[in-house]
Amino acid sequence: MITPTPAATSVTLDGVNKRFGRFAALNGVSLEIAAGELLALLGPSGSGKTTLLRIIAGLEFPDSGRVSFGDQAVTFAHAAERGVGFVFQQYALFKHMTVAKNVAFGLDVKKGADRPDAKARAARVADLLKLVELEGLGERYPSQLSGGQRQRVALARALAVAPRILLLDEPFGALDATVRKTLRRELRRLHDATGLTTVFVTHDQEEALDLADRIALLNGGRIEQVGPPATVLDQPASAFVAGFVGQSNALLGEVRGGVFSYLGATLPAPGLPDGPATAFARPDQLAPAVAEETGFPVRLQRATPRGPLLWLDVVTAEGQPIEVAVVRVGAAVMEPGMDVRLAIHECRLFPAA
């Protein structure tokens, strides 16, 4: 039976820099990952996520800075010395090997006393196939499996060698949306069952918000914010975070005397200097204004029911598209072409860059 590993370790990155020619992939990245934590590295393409993951894995080395696992310095230790399991987006399974042989590969290539005997290897493989819910499929080949099943095999193979840290690079990127959601739940279950320190790279904010204990959001090779999903979503530390996480509408207005104004809508802006500013408001933080509220004018282009919500696609007179989500129950009748005033109920305000 698989039991939570006692060997899970913390990871510390201190002032890590990495360049590829003239391109600075990482700029002074410092990050603490707790033992047993599931951390998401989130950010747009080119933000440095995969480079950071590969440096943790020992597949790349930093130009400067330090990497430690617990109390052990591993900055320039090779991947084979670090005790990490790595799962790639494209599975990287051996096509000529059965599922069981793929899972056992890391055990089969161990040397000397580190190599379990055949009975122990078979038992480990059987336990792992049960853990990833592929029991009975050990004699099949990768070509006989679905994409989701192949990714489960890749996870089992990474776990077979009892790693201290599990690293995943866009593990669900090649799968369709339905399978991705299923495997997200499975990864969380596997993490909770094994207790491994787990770091995964994604550009999908829904994936990060759904899965992670904490999110480290990267932009331009720097960490913009680290925190629990709810904190990153509701208390963004910068305009970039506010605009990247939570499907926000960016409303460029102006602050004068502690009041933010946008096309006639106003709200308090305590502590914000006078000048251009941007309000980042998620679709559920905007709503048709009632009589006593200030609002800004828009024209409704489309109203789409999505479960309990009515999703409104509107546009300002200047042509800016804005998305609004209102509760369907009790909502007024909305028809394309209607003129509506929107109130800003909540937002995050930042001086315009």
User: Could you tell me if 329 and 193 lie in one domain?
Assistant: no
- Residue 217: φ, ψ to 5°: -95, 120
Residue 343 sits in a domain whose CATH number is 2.40.50.140
pLDDT at residue 235 is higher than 60: yes
The maximal CA–CA distance of the chain, rounded, in angstroms, is 79
- Map the chain to HEC letters: CCCCCCCCCCEEEEEEEEEECCEEEEEEEEEEECCCCEEEEECCCCCCHHHHHHHHHCCCCCCEEEEEECCEECCCCCHHHCCEEEECCCCCCCCCCCHHHHHHHHHHCCCHHHCCCHHHHHHHHHHHHHHCCCCCCCCCCHHHCCHHHHHHHHHHHHHHCCCCEEEEECCCCCCCHHHHHHHHHHHHHHHHHHCCEEEEEECCHHHHHHHCCEEEEEECCEEEEEECHHHHHHCCCCHHHHHHCCCCEEEEEEEECCEEEECCEEEECCCCCCEEEEEEECHHHEEECCCCCCCEEEEEEEEEEECCEEEEEEECCCCCEEEEEEECCCCCCCCCCCEEEEEECCCEEEECC
The answer to whether position 158 is within a domain reads yes
User: Could you tell me if 235 and 319 lie in one domain?
Assistant: no
The answer to whether position 2 is within a domain reads no
**Structural domain ending residue among the three candidates 195, 211, 240:** 240
Q: What is the pLDDT of residues 41-53, one digit of tens each?
A: 999 999 999 999 9
User: Could you tell me if 230 and 294 lie in one domain?
Assistant: no
Burial class (CB in 10 A: 0-12, 13-18, 19+), 109: exposed
Domain residues for the domain of 185 are 11-240
User: Could you tell me if 95 and 119 lie in one domain?
Assistant: yes
**Structural domain ending residue among the three candidates 240, 255, 286:** 240
CA-closest candidate to residue 89, choices 196, 192, 189, 201: 201
The answer to whether position 3 is within a domain reads no
User: Could you tell me if 280 and 302 lie in one domain?
Assistant: yes
Residues 6+ apart with CB under 8 A from 255: 261, 269, 272, 273, 274, 275, 276, 277, 349, 351
**304, 313 contact by CB (below 8 A):** yes
Average pLDDT value for residue range 322-350: 90
User: Could you tell me if 69 and 164 lie in one domain?
Assistant: yes
Strand order in the sheet with 265-268: 265-268, 259-262, 249-256, 275-281, 348-351
The answer to whether position 283 is within a domain reads yes
User: Could you tell me if 251 and 225 lie in one domain?
Assistant: no
User: Could you tell me if 197 and 285 lie in one domain?
Assistant: no
**185, 11 contact by CB (below 8 A):** no
What rounded mean pLDDT belongs to the chain?
90
The answer to whether position 5 is within a domain reads no
Q: Which amino acid is at 324?
A: V
**Structural domain ending residue among the three candidates 209, 240, 271:** 240
User: Could you tell me if 141 and 267 lie in one domain?
Assistant: no
Q: What is the pLDDT of residues 270-302, one digit of tens each?
A: 999 999 999 999 999 999 998 888 899 999 999
The answer to whether position 4 is within a domain reads no
pLDDT of residue 173: 75
- Which range, of 24-28, 113-117, 257-261, averages the lowest pLDDT? 113-117
The percentage of residues in the chain with a pLDDT greater than 90, rounded to a whole number, is 65
The two three-digit tokens of residue 341, written as one number? 């005033």
**179, 128 contact by CB (below 8 A):** no
The answer to whether position 94 is within a domain reads yes
Number of compact structural domains in the chain: 2
The two three-digit tokens of residue 117, written as one number? 């005997």
User: Could you tell me if 178 and 297 lie in one domain?
Assistant: no
pLDDT of residue 4: 44
Residue 234 sits in a domain whose CATH number is 3.40.50.300
The answer to whether position 326 is within a domain reads yes
CA-closest candidate to residue 349, choices 245, 271, 278: 278
The two three-digit tokens of residue 289, written as one number? 């204004």
Average pLDDT value for residue range 217-236: 96
User: Could you tell me if 192 and 289 lie in one domain?
Assistant: no
* Distances, alpha carbon 25 to alpha carbons 29, 227, 240, in Å: 10, 22, 18
pLDDT at residue 5 is higher than 60: no
pLDDT of residue 201: 94
Average pLDDT value for residue range 236-264: 95
Average pLDDT value for residue range 223-235: 96
User: Could you tell me if 253 and 236 lie in one domain?
Assistant: no
**84, 58 contact by CB (below 8 A):** yes
